[in-house]
Amino acid sequence: SQQGEEDPQALSIQEGENATMNCSYKTSINNLQWYRQNSGRGLVHLILIRSNEREKHSGRLRVTLDTSKKSSSLLITASRAADTASYFCATDLGTLTFGKGTMLLVSP
């Protein structure tokens, strides 16, 4: 069963715009992680936010976590064509449970 569910399923924007992806989950978690997958490649870890944290930044990435609403968001600022990829949230309860992902297309 999928613990995390990303929204939207697909997102198309222009370079320079911001991209926001959301993740909802069902149970308590130890932490929530975001991963990126370029077409046909392995997943790459982007950021981990622990259950007692509310916001975390890494470069152009900003992740928020609201445990009361069981939701998280990933914001990519000033997007680039190279950000085109699928993005997955994963909830950690000892092992990771992944959502179905958001496909982001950034056009030049």
User: Between 60 and 100, whose beta carbon lies closer to another protein?
Assistant: 100
In the complex, least distance from residue 33 CB atom to another protein, rounded to whole angstroms: 6
In the complex, least distance from residue 31 CB atom to another protein, rounded to whole angstroms: 6
User: Between 3 and 71, whose beta carbon lies closer to another protein?
Assistant: 3
Closest CA to 31 of 91, 100, 88: 91
Contacting positions for another protein (CB under 8 A): 1-2, 30-31, 33, 40-45, 48, 50, 88, 92, 94-101
Can you point out the beta strands (E) in the chain?
5-7, 10-14, 19-24, 31-37, 43-50, 55-58, 61-66, 71-76, 85-92, 96-98, 102-107
User: Between 26 and 50, whose beta carbon lies closer to another protein?
Assistant: 50
